[in-house]
Structure 1
């Protein structure tokens, strides 16, 4: 029997855009809401599952490459980046896709490789300043 990818039993095994760290993501339900669970070492982050569809749609409208701009929640995100969009009051949910207070950032680090694995985006893999675009 083949187990579907993206479940707790068979998570997506991913690498950060610079290919320096391994992490896992899977889809789950918490409080009746579909979420992405992202495990990086012992740190567990949660993102609204809608972010995959919403990010893909935004990138298609954007049309070219967009800087990732990954930043922790406590640091401001650079304007015009995937990270800034993932916390903007202008995105479809009107704020943070990250759901765990204190750990809501790093959207621009952990979502792009998942989008690439799902065939929805192309992501650069340079040591720094990576970008992505919709496929």
Structure 2
């Protein structure tokens, strides 16, 4: 199968408008968000991109957003993103977890932990 044919499930955010749109869509659907704050000049961030794409294909009930901090500076400030890459897990517009640095295992672990907590809560 040709890799290029697989449509990316990661949505690139290029403005506060698109951020607000996708966050409110996710909130409406009760869908968690995982956001990768990146920068084109930051090699560790760029290296994490393929991993982030893979995660998006594994966790189909989560919305994956990619934010280039140079495109949407205000957003990075608002969410207190000071280093790249930063990964933020959000639900209902609120940050529930944050991983700073290019650490694929940790990001995946935090997503799994987060999903386990909502599964436990939704069954009780």
Does the alignment reach a TM-score above 0.5? no
What is the TM-score with the length of structure 1 in the denominator?
Answer: 0.26
What is the TM-score with the length of structure 2 in the denominator?
Answer: 0.28
Report which of the two has the higher share of helix: 2
